[in-house]
Every structure is written in structure tokens, then in C-alpha cells.
Structure 1
């Protein structure tokens, strides 16, 4: 073990409560980064049922890591050592694992009753300075905070599947979340290679709220006969998705101009659906104030003092990079076609 490996191994003890898909993904993410992880099953099981679950968890973790190795992301000989960092913990050993944890992720089924019962265990056994989180994708942080003994040390951390691959994690805080706890949680996520983004106690976080609109609209277009599934997927992978991989959604609004979005929304509101496509009031305000984005010097972002030419070149470079990655960049023809 190198000195850097030893430093990482000495890092925070992590517990993922709930041995389902999310818990397993979180365990892999931390173990891959060098941390020991307790994957805690709170359900009382017979010996036979426990052995079956334990074998299933181990097999899935090994298969997931083996998949990374087969794609050349990591050496296959690293798989056993990463797997060995994950302790699959039975319910009767949960108190020990929770007491040792500095960072706890609750990932039990998406019901308030299941969350309440899980936090009864967590409250009872975790240390007073542990950071407690829920990975819920649908329940507000304010609702779950009511179940937590020390709510100032609690926030939601929403992972995107596969949890050990997708870098973004969404951190949702309630009014009582200690700013120092948020800062520490962000730092811990960054230490394992994640990109934390912060939002308030809002339904759907950021990514699910945006993607639900897109997915519903895609299904609606198929329903209406507007386009086939294959055409929609081609358009989103190499049009919509490619551009939004090079530019963030809000950055994209500013780059093209908020007036473009305003006018497009007006037209589609009239021709498709007034409720779905009505522009929000913030766009009306920006239009009246002349804050049209990059072209006017301010929009959602302030471009004062920015080298606009250099910025445009950077955006073009990002986009070309995505085109090349997708294998769609074509060099100029070497001869004129008659």
C-alpha cells in the first residue's frame, strides 16, 4: 500500500443503510476511491435469507467492477481489493457499523414509514457528529428532517445511477442544515471524484425535474405520431444531448439569448400547449430589462469584463470535442464533387 493509499484508507468511515441498488452503488463509489464502507441491511432475516442476500450483493458488486475492468477503466486485478473494502453488515451488527460511521447514507425503500424506521436505528446508534443523509429521489428533505434527532447534521444527497459512474450528486438542504455540515458533505463528495450541486428543499431536485419534462414530451411525441422513437433518440443523443454536454442549460439560454427562448415559448404555447410552453415570469422581466444574455452583456450570468470572443471559441471547442467523441466530426472534403 502506498502512502497516498494509506491516507485515503484513514479517511472517514462510511455507512450505506439499505443493501439495495443504491446502497450497492454508493458502496462501490467509496470503495473505488479507497474508503472502507459498511453496507448495512436493517431487515431481520433468517440465516438462509441472509446468506442469499450476502451472496447476491457480493456478486453484483463484483460484476459491476468487472464491467469497468472489461472496458479498460481499471485493471481486473484491482477488483478483489476494492470488493474487500465493502463490509456487508447484518442487522444485528448494524449498531457497531453505525457507531463507527462519520458519514451515513440512508437508502431504504421510498416510503415515509421505511425512512422513519431507518432513522430510528440511525438516531440510536450514530455518533453526535456524524453527517446523516437520505438518498431519496422523491421525498422532500424537510419531511425526512422531522425523523432525525440532530436535523442540523442532516441533508439529502441524491445520486444518479449508476452511482459509481455518474459524477453529479445533488445536495438538498433544509433551513436548519448547518452550513459547516453542507461544506463538509460537499468536500467528501469531491474527494471521491463527484461533482456536488446544491439546491433547496424542492421537489425533483435539478436533474429529475428537468429530465421528467423531456421524457414525458418524448413519449407524447410518439403518442401523437410526431416522430418515431428511433428518430427522437437520434435527435436527443446527437443534437440536444450533445449541445447540453458542451453547454449547461442556463448557459445555453444566455448563449443563444433569452429573447430566443421567449419567442419560441410564445409560438409553441400557441401551437402545442399553453400550459406546457408558457415562458416563466423571469423571462418577461429579463426581456423588459434588456438582459438578453451574452449579446447584451448580462442575462442569468454577468458577462461584464469577459472576453466574449475567447468565450465563444471555448464553447466551439467544447462542442467540437463532443462531436469528435461521438465520431461525427467530418474533416473538409479534399476534392470538389461534380
Structure 2
């Protein structure tokens, strides 16, 4: 399914973020770091001990300040943290202060019950044109639609941690989500310098679903005694992940060859006796049609009119540029592990 990304977001937009945890802190940092004319209200909806009601919010503000200071030290900000923090307001008064927000991000823990209860609580106080976004990383939008009175204004925005650094934000929409809502949200995210990818809402979206499969396989490799955690991480950083920093995963299938994936799937399915390695239906279909990649002019992408040699050369240059970046860096390494001396 194809989605148009566009629209406009007015200057002076007010952003509400409910939840002073890691995700709420990351989103607040990202909005402030953009240096735009957005104002931010960071809400804490959780009951707290008497005289400690603002402890979590104050802790969140300190972390936001630290994040902004890091970005400033790394040359990513034109203004110091204190200047940017003037646009941040801390609040526990959802009922009184949420109404003026143009966009509201729900960023409470990844539990369906908690998220639905919060959406039901805030629904009466959200303005008619307010964009309402859950930051869930896995839950389908359909699970929330009965908790709000205007499902056409709701979507999921999955920010990847650290949210103030990772460019991608997955924007998952439902059948009821209004076109104007999608346009306004993607315009806002683009204005922050993010890369929004719009998709039809489905459990796990894109990245968490692919990640879960890869992570589970890594754990199985440890459990089977095939390799250690450090060895797996080295293999991912120096090989699998290195390639995916230049190639998209689907492009990698094509350039490597759909037939290679097919035969690898068949072998692993038989050797490991695991149906999870059985080739997907479309891989089998493409094998039957001979649509195995660039040399066949079609794989999952259409290569008609594409100079294949130039395409490969361009990707090789990308690999070499990335390799130089790692080699010159004091912080980047292909070695797995956490740097703990044994």
C-alpha cells in the first residue's frame, strides 16, 4: 500500500507528551532539538506519593537537559540546552492543560490496559482537531479505536530509541484515520528532521516485527551453543548490520538473489527441522516466474531501465564510505560485547 507524505504544520504548534519515561523524554528532546517554534507540555499521569508528585517530571527534565547538552557538545544544536528548555512545561494537570495541545503523544508503558485507560481518561479533554498518537511499538491501532470518540484523529507513531537520534518514525494508520491527520503528522515529523514511513497498522509494524525475528534467532543460536553473545554481535555489526546500513532489507534480497534466499530457506528448513525457515509464498512465486533480481530485470523491485553495473558500483561505494567512517571513528567498532574486561 502506498501513502503520500505531506501536509503542513502551523508555527506555534503545542505538543503534549503523556509519560515522563524513556520514550516521553526522547520525544521531548527531539522536538526541542529541532529548534522550531513548538511548545511542549510533558505530563505525568501516574499517581505519586504526597510531596513527591513532581519527582518523575523533574528527573525527566534533567535527562532532557543532559540529552540536549550532548547534542550541543556534538555540534548538533545551534543553541544551548537552557535556551531550548524554555519551551518545555512540566504538568500533572491533564484535565486542565491538555486541551490546548495540537498533537498529543501517549507514551506510557507498553501495556494495552494502561494505554487504553489513559486514552479513555484524556478523550473528553482533547480538542476536536488534536492529533492523538500512541507510541506503542507493537500494538495494532484497532486495539485503541474503541477508547476514543474520534478514531479518525488517531494513529500510532513508533519512535525508535533513542528517539532524539534515530531518524525513523513509523506512522501506522488505520482504516478510519483521516488523510489530513496523516498529512499533518508526517509534516510535523519531517519538520523535526525525522523520516516518517507510513504503513497500514499491523501488530509489530515493520521494524519491531523484523527485529523480533532476528533477536529470537540470535538467542536460539546462544542456547544451542553455536556462538557466544559477543561473537553474534560481532557478526551482526561487521556483516549483517553493516550491509543493511547501505542496503534496505528487501533490496538486499534482490541484489543477493531471490533464488539464493529460496535455496537457503529450503536448506535451513530441512537441516534445522523448523517451519519458520520455509520460503514465503511470494518467494516461491518469483522463483517460478524467474523474477530473481536485477539480472532478471525484476525481483521485489522493478529494474527495467536501471544500469545494473552502476547500481552495484554505487552500493559498493556506499560500503566503502561506511567502512572508512568506522575505521576513522574512536567510538565505532565492529567488535561485539560491552567493553568489559574479563
TM-score by length of 1: 0.89
SS where residue 327 of structure 1 aligns?
Answer: helix
How much does 1:46 deviate?
A: 5.1
The aligned counterpart of 1:262 is 262
The aligned counterpart of 2:54 is 51
How much does 1:136 deviate?
A: 1.1
CA displacement 1:304-331 (0-9 Å, x = unmatched): 11222222221111111111111189xx
The aligned counterpart of 1:282 is 282
> Counterparts of 2:153 and 2:103 in 1: how far apart (Å)?
10
Please identify the structure whose Cα radius of gyration is greater: 1
The aligned counterpart of 1:171 is 171
CA displacement 1:201-220 (0-9 Å, x = unmatched): 21111111111111111111
> Counterparts of 1:9 and 1:65 in 2: how far apart (Å)?
24
CA displacement 1:11-55 (0-9 Å, x = unmatched): 321111122211111111111112211111123445521232232
Q: How does 1:87-106 map to 2 (within 5 A)?
A: 87-90=89-92, 93-106=93-106
- Whether contact under 8 Å (1:186, 1:196) holds in the other structure is yes
Contiguous gaps of at least 5 residues in structure 1? 1-7, 330-338
- Whether contact under 8 Å (1:169, 1:195) holds in the other structure is yes
1:63 aligns with 2:66: yes
SS where residue 155 of structure 1 aligns?
Answer: strand
How much does 1:275 deviate?
A: 1.3
1:39 aligns with 2:24: no
Q: Residue 125 and residue 321 in structure 1: after superposition, are their counterparts in 2 closer, same or farther (change >3 A)?
A: same
How much does 1:221 deviate?
A: 1.2
The aligned counterpart of 2:294 is 294
Query: May I ask how many residue pairs the two structures share in their alignment?
Result: 319
The aligned counterpart of 2:11 is 10
Q: Higher relative contact order by CA 8 Å / sep ≥ 6: 1 or 2?
A: 2
CA displacement 1:108-159 (0-9 Å, x = unmatched): 2223332222112331111101111101123211011111110011111111
SS where residue 324 of structure 1 aligns?
Answer: helix
Q: How does 1:22-171 map to 2 (within 5 A)?
A: 22-33=23-34, 34=36, 35-45=38-48, 48-74=51-77, 78-90=80-92, 93-171=93-171
SS where residue 49 of structure 1 aligns?
Answer: coil
Q: Residue 269 and residue 72 in structure 1: after superposition, are their counterparts in 2 closer, same or farther (change >3 A)?
A: same
Contiguous gaps of at least 5 residues in structure 2? 1-8, 330-342
SS where residue 48 of structure 1 aligns?
Answer: coil
- Whether contact under 8 Å (1:167, 1:195) holds in the other structure is yes
The aligned counterpart of 1:187 is 187
SS where residue 171 of structure 1 aligns?
Answer: strand
> Counterparts of 1:314 and 1:172 in 2: how far apart (Å)?
32
| Superposition RMSD in Å | 2.0
The range that moved more, 242-251 or 59-68, is 59-68
SS where residue 198 of structure 1 aligns?
Answer: strand
> Counterparts of 1:55 and 1:274 in 2: how far apart (Å)?
50
> Counterparts of 1:235 and 1:110 in 2: how far apart (Å)?
30
SS where residue 205 of structure 2 aligns?
Answer: coil
SS where residue 43 of structure 1 aligns?
Answer: coil
The aligned counterpart of 1:252 is 252
- Whether contact under 8 Å (2:152, 2:176) holds in the other structure is yes
- Whether contact under 8 Å (2:44, 2:56) holds in the other structure is no
- Whether contact under 8 Å (1:15, 1:97) holds in the other structure is no
How much does 1:72 deviate?
A: 4.1
